[in-house]
Chains A and B, each alone.
Chain A
Amino acid sequence: MKQLIAALLCLPLAAFAVSPGQAAPPTAGPLLSGDGEAGLPALRGQVVLVDFFASWCGPCAQSLPVLEKLRNEMQAQYPGRFEVLAVNVDTDPKDGRKFLRRNPISYPAISDPDGAIADGWQLPGMPTSFLVDGNGVVVLRHEGYRSGDEQKLRGEIQAVLGAK
């Protein structure tokens, strides 16, 4: 019964979040820094880690440098087959740009100030990242960030890339 109550309490957040096996919701938008656009359609065929972050999110400051390192490592290992797509959910993109100046990344970051993209993914928390395969299907949902999480992500990414 306790488990049922706990499950019911978590229901509002987790029930509608995009889960592995589902198609990735539309994810494209203007680049946070500079001109142009980026998104999943342009990265079709590659394995993409869609990472939602915000300037007010403490763990995001820890996860971004780790993802940057992981991305460079994976791109060296699997050239042209892996990319990270960051989605900034700050209502004021200036906050997101300021955050990126403190935590620079070399992968594309798009801006989602009205939360339309985040709404489609129904994030269960911040930060949350989703691993999307080359066919646009979600294969992993990773909530939050703790030191050492990159080991799990690396394993999952390698499993998806190795299976191709």
Chain B
Amino acid sequence: MKYLQQAVIIAAITFAAEIIKYFVPLPVPASIYGLILLFVLLKTGLLKLGQIEDVGGLLLELMPLLLVPASVSFLTVLDTIQGMLLPVLIMGFIGTTVVMIVTGSVSQWIIRRSGKEKGHE
């Protein structure tokens, strides 16, 4: 029954997140509120990792599968996207490359700089 108990806890956090979303007038999905809520619960020790880890791990492992129905919905936008094909392709290939290199270079520069500082101490 430990799986049922874990599922109930995760469902309750999801429920709480959706209630927060209902009352907070911000363009933030319920999943973000839930993510922060779960992190706070774990960090404060109100919830132990073992109380959700099995079902939570299963959900994380299944995540790509859960995205299949939404991805298949591309069929319904083939007409809509035709006019946007070029921007979508440019953002997908060039945009992704630029973001990857910017993030990698900036963080690497900081890590190496702080590494050097420690070396001098």
Q: Do A and B bind each other?
A: no
